Amino acid sequence: MPFLSETPTDATASDWWRRFPALDPVQSVPRAAYVHVPFCAHRCGYCDFTLVARRDELIPQYLVALESELQLLRQPAPVDTLFMGGGTPTHLSAGQLATLLDSVTRWFPLSDAGEFSVEVNPSGLTADKIAVLAEHGVNRISLGVQSFDAQILATLERDHRAADVFRAVDLVREHIDNVSLDLIFGVPGQTVALWRETLQRAVGLGPRHLSAYGLTIEKGTAFWGRRDKGALHTIPDEVEREMYAVAMDELSSAGLPQYELSNYAQRGSECRHNGVYWAGRPYFAAGPGAARYVGGRRETNHRSVTAWIRRIQAEKSPVGDAEELSAVDRARETAVLNLRRMCGINRAIFAEQTGFELDTLLGEPIARFRALGLLEDVGGHVRLTREGKFLADAVIVELL
């Protein structure tokens, strides 16, 4: 069964690209891996990720099934970036976490200068769990803060409070210094002033990296049903736009410049693993609902945790959906992913990576969006303007 990966990303300058080899995404050997851990104490109303809540009895079966899926690699696959997300990986006990990490690091040995990120929630975090992460080479923590305000946290149905965040940061920094914070804006009841205060409190914790996501309400979530019934009222688009502008300006002024549509970091602390995705590079993935991109083929494992476990136990493929991309589709997708980054699309690297000249493939829509002031051409790069960032989804749909 095929898997995959390769490494790179950049901040705002093309220099960031030069830290990584520019390999063909179809032929290159994967150098990144994602592992999905689907367990949580409860499901938040906005969450549409693959997870199960209050099903801890499935954890032992999950660990055995994951090891079986990884054995499909046949031999260890060295990587430069590892990312373990969820769900809540640290919902597992310290012993279960050690078992998981033993398996993951055996099959995906990390290079000496590699980046190993794990998503962590403030609730339920303990010193022994952090120690286990550090002992297994984890060197970057992504902490799910979302907000410091009690009412906003209640609206989001989070199970932590501000005090838990401060405690979690202190616990993590006893072993791991590289901390990233996740925040959400555009939450019902949230004001621009409250969002600015949230950003200031987050910056005060001294993170190297910060992600700020606009709240999206996906079909199938509890929030979707509540909105349809009139029990949840979203904020006006112009207010959410102002919140995004505040994030771009406040975080840049605080030494965390924007390097991707939703991500901000100190220079040199950009998330290398997510950069693999934005650069259109291949990557391995394992676990229920995990998506991999290998040899121009996208595969997504079954989203049902129990179905994924049963299929592996029966020695069947865990893949639930697959798509083989044509060369032109791969090129278009690469352009769109590249455009998420503030440096945009580097024409020379795009041609080297895809075999297509950017202006031959997408010259017409690029020219149109330049005329509208949504794209600009700078030093061999095509990138979003400030106004283009607010309308990025519309630009991306046209390029696809």
Task: Please state, in angstroms and rounded to a whole number, the distance separating the CA atoms of residues 20 and 114.
Answer: 12
| Helix and strand counts by DSSP (H, E) for the chain | 15, 17
Q: What is the pLDDT of residues 319-350, one digit of tens each?
A: 999 999 899 999 999 999 999 999 999 999 99
Task: Flag whether 383 is in a domain.
Answer: yes
Is the model's pLDDT at 14 over the cut of 80?
A: no
- What's the pLDDT score for residue 53? 83
- What's the pLDDT score for residue 310? 96
- What's the pLDDT score for residue 50? 82
- What is the rounded average pLDDT of the residues 78-90? 96
Tokens read off for 370? 């330049």
233 and 381 in a single domain? The answer is no
- What is the rounded average pLDDT of the residues 358-383? 95
Task: Flag whether 314 is in a domain.
Answer: no
Query: Percentage of the chain with pLDDT > 90?
Result: 81
Q: Residues 254-267, buried b or exposed e (16+ Cβ, 10 A)?
A: bebbbbbbbbbbbe
Residue span of the structural domain in which 399 resides: 339-400
- What is the rounded average pLDDT of the residues 69-84? 96
- What's the pLDDT score for residue 124? 86
211 and 351 in a single domain? The answer is no
Contacts of 124 (CB under 8 A, 6+ apart): 41, 88, 90, 91
pLDDT band at 226 (very low <50, low <70, confident <90, very high): confident
Task: Please state, in angstroms and rounded to a whole number, the distance separating the CA atoms of residues 318 and 359.
Answer: 39
Check whether the bond before 87 is cis (ω within 30° of 0): yes
Residue 194 has φ and ψ, to the nearest 5°, of -65, -40
- What's the pLDDT score for residue 82? 98
- Domain boundary, last residue among 227, 254, 278: 278
Task: Flag whether 349 is in a domain.
Answer: yes
- What's the pLDDT score for residue 46? 81
- What's the pLDDT score for residue 295? 83
Identify the three-state secondary structure at position 65: helix
Q: Which residue has the tokens 């992600």?
A: 211
Task: Please state, in angstroms and rounded to a whole number, the distance separating the CA atoms of residues 251 and 264.
Answer: 7
44 and 191 in a single domain? The answer is yes
Task: Please state, in angstroms and rounded to a whole number, the distance separating the CA atoms of residues 224 and 339.
Answer: 29
Q: What is the pLDDT of residues 231-248, one digit of tens each?
A: 888 899 999 999 999 999
265 and 344 in a single domain? The answer is no
249 and 130 in a single domain? The answer is yes
How far is residue 349 from each of residues 109, 152, 356, 376, 379, measured CA to CA in Å? 28, 43, 10, 18, 13
Task: Flag whether 326 is in a domain.
Answer: no
Task: Please state, in angstroms and rounded to a whole number, the distance separating the CA atoms of residues 15 and 81.
Answer: 19
By residue count, the chain amounts to 400
Q: What share of the chain is helix, strand, coil (3-state, %, to 5)?
A: 40, 20, 35
- Domain boundary, last residue among 263, 278, 293: 278
- What's the pLDDT score for residue 193? 97
Is the model's pLDDT at 394 over the cut of 70?
A: yes
Is the model's pLDDT at 225 over the cut of 90?
A: no
121 and 206 in a single domain? The answer is yes
- What's the pLDDT score for residue 350? 95
163 and 270 in a single domain? The answer is yes
- What is the rounded average pLDDT of the residues 54-76? 95
Residue 370 belongs to what H/E stretch? Answer: helix 358-371
pLDDT band at 5 (very low <50, low <70, confident <90, very high): very low
| Side-chain half-sphere exposure of 60, counting CA atoms within 13 A | 1
Task: Flag whether 5 is in a domain.
Answer: no
- Domain boundary, last residue among 253, 278, 303: 278
- What's the pLDDT score for residue 9? 34
Is the model's pLDDT at 182 over the cut of 90?
A: yes
Q: What is the pLDDT of residues 259-295, one digit of tens each?
A: 999 999 999 999 999 999 999 999 999 999 999 998 8
- Average pLDDT of the residues of the chain: 90
Q: How many independent structural domains does the chain possess?
A: 2
31 and 112 in a single domain? The answer is yes
| Residue 60 CB neighbours (<10 A) | 11
Task: Count Cβ atoms within 10 A of the Cβ of residue 353 and give its class: 0-12 exposed, 13-18 middle, 19 or more buried.
Answer: buried
Task: Flag whether 268 is in a domain.
Answer: yes
Question: What's the CATH number where 192 sits?
Answer: 3.80.30.20
Is the model's pLDDT at 370 over the cut of 70?
A: yes
Name the packing angle between helices 94-107 and 59-70 (round to 10°): 10
233 and 344 in a single domain? The answer is no
Task: Flag whether 299 is in a domain.
Answer: no
Q: What is the pTM of this model?
A: 0.90
Task: Flag whether 301 is in a domain.
Answer: no
Q: What is the pLDDT of residues 21-50, one digit of tens each?
A: 333 444 478 999 999 999 998 887 787 788
38 and 186 in a single domain? The answer is yes
Q: Residues 306-341, buried b or exposed e (16+ Cβ, 10 A)?
A: eebbebbeeeeebbbeeeebeeeebbbbbbbbbbbb
Distance in angstroms between the alpha carbons of the first and the last residue of the chain = 28
- What's the pLDDT score for residue 22? 37
Tokens read off for 10? 């950049």
Q: What is the pLDDT of residues 106-137, one digit of tens each?
A: 999 999 999 999 999 999 899 999 999 999 99
122 and 46 in a single domain? The answer is yes
